[in-house]
């Protein structure tokens, strides 16, 4: 795995989730409670979640009793997270510029997001905010493509996350070393509407022109019809692959200044609108 963060294509894919936040929220699966427990350990701790999105993992972490701070570079995603978890502190921020003091969290977690990070900048930032002995824990929900029909669906979606494995990056870094792994299995029920949203929520589909998106949707609908389950739906098998590594030497220096003229994913925490009287709007939490 190599970092391609900062390339125009990578940035376009990363930012594409802003336009499909509703579909993402409706269709993407959550994570097994057992996987969330493995990522964070057996006791409640202070957890920073990077790339929290609409809160698919956040809810499981909160249910385990953790103190969670959820961040994401896209306010559109965090709006949905706050709808589900209004009491969870959130901030519009990237992994490359974390708005927290040094040595302030026990665990940094990221689900379905680490492959978007600029690891050369993100890993020292993550190490900076971790307390001694703290851990970086990463997870991906991957379709179980050992099954032929699931592999056919994956070919229609043309997604690249299936090959994600952070081990070499972490082992080769000065900040982290040995990587523990674990895998959990679950099934996601899908009816035609949810399958359509699942397709639309993929960055590889979201960046396509409208006509191409419709062609992909038509192919996936034809695949669903051939599968023969009709409105009863299908069960899509997933493997939740988890990775964790203990920080070697926390970096205590202040985070680097944002690069001028960078894209949204290059910048640090972004100010957003204050909450309105009806409770809508965004709130940027001051963690200092």
Residue 57 sits in a domain whose CATH number is 3.40.50.150
Highest mean pLDDT (candidates 41-50, 162-171, 184-193, 198-207):
41-50
* H or E stretch at 137: strand 130-143
The answer to whether position 202 is within a domain reads no
With a CB cutoff of 8 Å and minimum separation 6, the contacts of 179 are: 166, 167, 170, 171, 243, 244, 245
Q: Average pLDDT of the chain?
A: 79
Structure tokens at 174: 């000065």
pLDDT of 204 higher than 50: yes
* 282 within a domain of the structure (yes/no): no
Range in 151-160, 174-183, 191-200 with the lowest mean pLDDT = 151-160
Does 287 fall in a domain? no
Pinpoint the alpha helices (H) of the chain: 8-15, 21-27, 33-40, 58-63, 75-84, 119-129, 148-157, 167-172, 192-200, 203-206, 210-227
Residue 168 lies in a domain: yes
**Could you tell me if residue 277 is inside a domain?**
no
Whether the pLDDT of residue 131 is over 90: the answer is yes
Q: Please compute the mean of the pLDDT values over residues 144-156 and round it to a whole number.
A: 88
Q: Which of 133-147, 180-194, 253-267 has the lowest mean pLDDT?
A: 253-267
Q: Which residue has the higher pLDDT, 123 or 206?
A: 123
The pLDDT of residue 96: 97
Give the residue numbers spanning the domain of 43.
Answer: 8-142+162-185+239-253
Residue 232 confidence (pLDDT) above 80: no
CA angle in degrees (0–180, nearest 5) for 170-102-114? 30
Residue 270 domain flag: no
Q: Does residue 178 fall inside a structural domain?
A: yes
Mapped onto helix, strand or coil, the DSSP state of residue 143 is strand
Q: Decide if pLDDT at 165 tops 80.
A: yes
Max CA distance (Å), the chain? 58
pLDDT confidence of 253, banded at 50, 70, 90? low
**Dihedral through CA 249, CA 253, CA 255, CA 260, nearest 10?**
-130
- Of all residues in the chain, the percent with pLDDT exceeding 70 is 73
Look at residue 44 and tell me if it is in a domain.
Answer: yes
Contact between 118 and 88 (Cβ < 8 Å): no
Distance in angstroms (rounded) separating the CA atoms of residues 18 and 10: 14
pLDDT higher than threshold 70 for residue 10: no
Angle at 224 between CA 222 and CA 229, to 5 degrees: 135
Tell me whether strands 67-72 and 90-92 are parallel, antiparallel or unpaired: parallel
Tokens of 222: 């034809």
| Structural domain count, the chain | 1
């Amino acid at each position: 795995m190599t970092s391609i963060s900062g390339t125009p294509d990578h940035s376009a894919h990363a930012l594409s989730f802003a336009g499909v936040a509703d579909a993402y929220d409706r269709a993407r699966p959550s994570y097994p409670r057992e996987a969330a427990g493995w990522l964070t350990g057996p006791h409640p701790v202070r957890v920073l979640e990077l790339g929290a999105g609409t809160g698919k993992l956040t809810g499981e972490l909160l249910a385990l009793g953790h103190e969670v701070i959820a961040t994401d570079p896209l306010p559109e995603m965090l709006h949905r997270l706050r709808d589900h978890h209004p009491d969870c502190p959130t901030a519009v921020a990237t992994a490359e510029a974390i708005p927290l003091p040094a040595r302030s969290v026990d665990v940094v977690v990221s689900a379905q997001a680490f492959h978007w990070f600029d690891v050369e900048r993100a890993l020292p930032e993550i190490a900076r905010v971790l307390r001694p002995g703290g851990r970086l824990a990463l997870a991906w929900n991957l379709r179980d493509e050992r099954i032929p029909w699931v592999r056919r669906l994956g070919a229609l979606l043309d997604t690249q996350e299936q090959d994600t494995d952070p081990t070499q990056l972490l082992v080769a870094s000065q900040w982290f070393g040995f990587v523990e792994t674990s895998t959990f299995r679950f099934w996601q029920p899908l009816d035609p509407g949810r399958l359509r949203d699942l397709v639309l929520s993929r960055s590889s589909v979201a960046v396509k022109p409208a006509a191409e998106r419709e062609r992909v949707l038509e192919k996936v609908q034809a695949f669903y019809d051939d599968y023969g389950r009709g409105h009863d739906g299908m069960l899509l098998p997933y493997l939740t692959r988890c990775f964790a590594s203990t920080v070697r030497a926390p970096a205590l220096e202040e985070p680097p200044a944002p690069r001028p003229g960078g894209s949204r994913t290059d910048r640090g925490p972004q100010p957003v609108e204050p909450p309105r009287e009806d409770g809508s709007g965004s709130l940027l939490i001051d963690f200092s």
